[in-house]
Chain A
Amino acid sequence: MTALRIADGFRRGAAVTFDVDGVAVVGHRGETLAAALLAAGFARLRHSPRDFSPRGAYCFMGACQECVVQVGGVLRQSCQVPVEDGLVVGLKGSL
């Protein structure tokens, strides 16, 4: 449990481990990749294509596309991807 996960009132799913740019990160079944990354301290998920400015998840509901990362080499909105054991995540948008 990290500081962002609320301890009381929620029962979390089993722990899952996934890879973020070569680092093993633990999340819980039921979490979206965007939330699990935030809880693990990954606020910056990509850079914007024109200014190369750092970006992180912003709307968490699939509308803004800011949380796009590479999952298994494919661009995915991390707020719409449930965490799973063995995901290979690259904090890299379309650049």
Chain B
Amino acid sequence: MMQADLIVIGAGPAGAAAALAASEAGLLVVLLDEDASPGGQVYRAPPAGLSVAPDTRGADERAGDALREAVAASAVVWKGGARVWSISGAFRVDAVTAAGSESFTAPRLVAATGAHERLVPFPGWTTPGVIGLAAATILLKSQGMVPGRRTVVAGCGPLLAAVAAKIVAGGGAVAAIIDLSGPGDWLKALPAMASRPDLLRQGLGWALKLGAACVPVLFRHTVTAVSGGEACEAVTVAPVDAEGRPTGGRSRVFAADALAIGHGLVPGSEIPKLLRAEHRFEPEAGGWAPVRDAFGRCSVAGLYTVGDGAAVAGAEPARLSGRLAGLAAAQDAGRLPAHVSAREAGEARAALDKALVFAGAINRLMRARPAMVEEIAKDTVICRCEDVRRGEIEAAISAGAREINQLKHFTRCGMGPCQGRMCGETAATLLARHVGSREAAGYWTGRPPLRPVPLADLLGEFDYGDIPVPNPAPL
């Protein structure tokens, strides 16, 4: 068992910044991540064996390299390929690593586990070939692959253009971009987006690339069905209103072997939930978010939460919120003079407030649209793991399920191996229609294991003969 001053879980921009700030202040910091290298989703390193040619490396690749160099040059103890499955007490972290089962303890813990994608179900969304927008980004950026020979890119937010442009640049075909938002929504976002000229420029670059490739863009449209048995063959789309509700307008069908789709991001705050930190439903943060102060301190003493895992805001706010939590952890440990911490935190805070203007505009484009959930057909699967359909969920609600965990007991929705990450938002939104609010519907109780781990990995190699059996006491 390794004893540290601070454990940071998640090595994306938020977690890495927290670890570096605390380490610079003199804390012994352990940084864990499931991936082999630091970077997280946005700055994910190409895996060993695959390399990106220097002339095609963009700003994200360079920022990722800088992050990895900073972690490598620091005193932070890096634990890559670590699957954290349990956190208990204040705080003991159990992980499965290449070395087997490893445990770490520290009086302070930063949870920086990022967001996961929201996807409102539609008929055929479980068909192979239908993937998340974030999944498409991973394929394109860290595997050097396009999702299919001909891909429909759908959902909302800037990832639509990013993914479509990367597919085109990679030599793939984009059948169409299906955007829930309308041109007016994008225009409204423009002034706030202008606060980050670099990102705006990047966005315009994507748009130009797509225009040059003559990719059709359907604004105020949504995917209503995917057909194909063993694999995606065709994607049906239809016009919607501002809330994502079909207007009854003409639908269109695009032949495609892949659909990359995402309806926004939800904070992945499993760790604060597991540790019973207080949460609050914050639609502007993406959903249920841990209650936190300006430094990421949670209601549980010693627990901090930062980045998209606390409130969805993107890479730069994640880095700055991470830095604030790292400084706070060092100060709370009595290792950073208050005046130093106040000065450095003030700078980070000011930069964060500025970065949040851009994030706010993007979040409005990527907001949840409960009307889409209302429109889900009765026989559409909500919970992919357990194949629970909307009709079964409605039946359970009629039978008396008043809270999301009760609904889970009634239906097994959320009980499968993804542990409710994929269906939680939809199930809670359906329940909220009957119980009055998302607050009343609640959220899944956090339970270990945080990720499924094979029992063999926990036990390691052993023989029954190795188990010490004390000699019986003499009679």
Contact = CB atoms under 8 A, between A and B. Distances in A.
Nearest to B136: A60
Interface residues of A, number: 46
Contacts of B138: 60-61
Interface string B43-59: 00011111111011000
Contact of A8 (B48, B56, B131, B232): B56
With most chain A CB atoms within 10 A of its CB, the pick from B50, B53, B257, B386 is B50
A29 B49 contact: yes
A6 interface: yes
Contacts of B299: none
With most chain B CB atoms within 10 A of its CB, the pick from A12, A28, A35, A75 is A35
Given A7-B171, A64-B384, A31 B50 contact: yes
B148 A60 contact: no
Given A28-B50, A50-B387, A62-B451, A5 B145 contact: yes
Nearest to A48: B387
Given A12-B144, A13-B50, A30-B47, A65 B385 contact: yes
Contacts of B140: 6
Given A8-B171, A38-B145, A44-B230, A58 B50 contact: no
B127 interface: yes
Contact of B146 (A4, A48, A54): A4
Contacts of A54: 126-128, 229-231
Interface in A32-77: 32, 35, 38-39, 43-45, 48-51, 53-66, 68, 74-75
A9 interface: yes
Given A32-B143, A63-B116, A45 B49 contact: no
A45 B384 contact: no
17 contacts: A4-B147, A5-B145, A10-B52, A30-B48, A30-B50, A31-B49, A43-B128, A43-B232, A48-B384, A56-B129, A59-B134, A60-B132, A60-B134, A61-B135, A62-B451, A63-B116, A74-B454
